[in-house]
Amino acid sequence: MPSADPIASISWPLDGQNSMSQNALFQEMALTALFGHSQESLAQIIEKTGQPAYRATQLWEALYQQRVETLDDITALPKSFRDELKQAGYAVGLPHIQQTFHSVDGTERYLIQLADGQTVETVWMPGGDGGELGDGTEAGDEEEDEELAANDSIENCYKRATICVSSQVGCAVNCQFCFTAKLGLTRNLTAGEIAGQVAVVLNRHRVQIGRDRINLVFMGMGEPFLNYRNFMDAIRLLVKGIGIPEPRMTVSTSGIVPAILEFAREPIRPKLAISLNAPNNRIRQEVMPITKKWNVEILLSAVRQVPLRPRERVTFEYVLLGGVNDGRAHASQLAGLMAIPGLPLKVNLIVWNPGPGTEYRTPEPHVARAFQQRLRESCVPAYIRRPRGLDIYAACGQLKRTLVQIDGAAASAS
C-alpha cells in the first residue's frame, strides 16, 4: 500500500482545483468550447455578438437537444454568423472517442480524448447491469423486467442501456481495490467534458431521448463529489438541455460528507449511491482510506439528510473482496448497519472484478449468494450486480485507461 495518506490533503470545497495546473492550450480551448455553457452563459455570448437574443435559444437547442458536433451543423444559424463564431475562436467542443473496445456481452468501453490531450473512460452497457434493481424508480422497474432483458438481443437492447460516466482524470481517493486509484489524480473534468461524454455516446448509438430508455451512472473514473460544482453543472445540462430525467441518473460517492450535505439541498439531483464496501470502520479504513476523514457513523448521518423522492431508495454499494469482507459475520454486521430507521435503502453487491497487479481475489459465486441471502433474511433488500465488459476491462473498478491486452497483461495509457 502507498505510504503517504492521500486523504489528508483533501479539503472542502475542491471546486475547480486540480492536483496539477492545466496547460495554457487547455485553458484556451475550454474557454472557446460552446458545449458546457448554460443557457444564461450562451445568452451573454450572443449579446456580445450583437445578434438577436433568440439566437441563444437556437444555439442551446442545437448543442444539447440536437447534439451537433460542429458549428456548420447548426443550420438554424445564418452561415455568416457561424463563420463569425469560428473566427472568434468558438467551436462546439465535444470530446471525441479515440478508441473503442468491444466486449462479447455487447458492452463497449471508450477511451475519450479531451481538449488538452488527456483521456478518460466511458462505458456503454446495453441492457444495464442490474444497478437500478429495486431502487423504486422507473429505471429500477425496467431492470426488474427480466423477460425484457432475456428477450432483447445485443442488436436491439440499446433501447434500455446504461452509460457509465467519468468525472475526473484519475482519482485521489485511493480505494485499494479500484484500478483507477492507481492512476492518481491529474485534474477535474469541466461540466462540458462530463456531459460531453454522454453526448458523444448518445450520438454514436443514435439514441433518441424520449424514445430510448437511457440511464446514467456517474461511477467511472474519479470521485464526482470532489469535483462537485462542475459535476452538478453537468447534471443541469443533462436534465435541462439533453433531456435526461434526474431519476434516470445515479451518482456514486466514496463518502465526501460536506458534499453529501450540499447535495441534499439541490433542487435538481440524481439518485444517490454510497460506496460502502465494509461492515465496520476497521475494514473500511483498510480498503478505503477516506474513512479516516469521515467514518461510517458520520457518513450515515449525512446520508439521512438527503430527501428522497416517492419510492426512491439510497443505494449502498458493497464490493465483495474474497477473504476480506465477504464472510457470514460480515453480512450480519452489515445487516445491522443497514437497519436505519426511516431511510429507504438497498444494497448492491459487486463481486470484485480482477485485474493485474493486485493481491485481492474474487469470491466464489456461492459466497456472494450466501452473503445476499443473509442480508435478505434480515429484511435488507440486496441485489448482485451483473459484471459487464470483464473481457475489455470495462467492469466496475477496472477503469484504468487500458489500451491493449497482451498475453493476459494489460498496458495502460500514461
Report, as residue numbers or ranges, the catalytic residues. Answer: 121, 396
Buried b (16+ CB within 10 A) or exposed e, 217-248: bbbbbbbbbbbbebbbbbbbbbbebbebbbbb
Three cell numbers, residue 47? 449579446
Assess contact for 259 and 290: CB atoms under 8 A.
Answer: no
Question: How many angstroms separate the CA atoms of 68 and 94, rounded?
Answer: 9
CB count within 10 Å of CB 211 equals 8
- Cα 394 → chain centroid: 13
Question: How many angstroms separate the CA atoms of 94 and 33, rounded?
Answer: 8
Assess contact for 216 and 194: CB atoms under 8 A.
Answer: no
Return the half-sphere exposure (C-beta side, CA atoms, 13 A cut-off) of residue 122: 26
Three cell numbers, residue 8? 489528508
Query: How many contiguous H segments (helices) and E segments (strands) does the chain have?
Result: 13, 14
Question: How many angstroms separate the CA atoms of 403 and 99, rounded?
Answer: 8
The answer to whether the peptide bond before residue 356 is cis (omega within 30 degrees of 0) is no
Three cell numbers, residue 232? 452538478
Question: How many angstroms separate the CA atoms of 27 and 371, rounded?
Answer: 49
Residue of 370, 366, 298 whose CA lies nearest to 335: 370
Assess contact for 163 and 120: CB atoms under 8 A.
Answer: no
How far lies 52's CA from each of 61, 74, 92, in Å?
16, 16, 20
Question: How many angstroms separate the CA atoms of 175 and 338, rounded?
Answer: 22
Three-state secondary-structure class, residue 68: coil
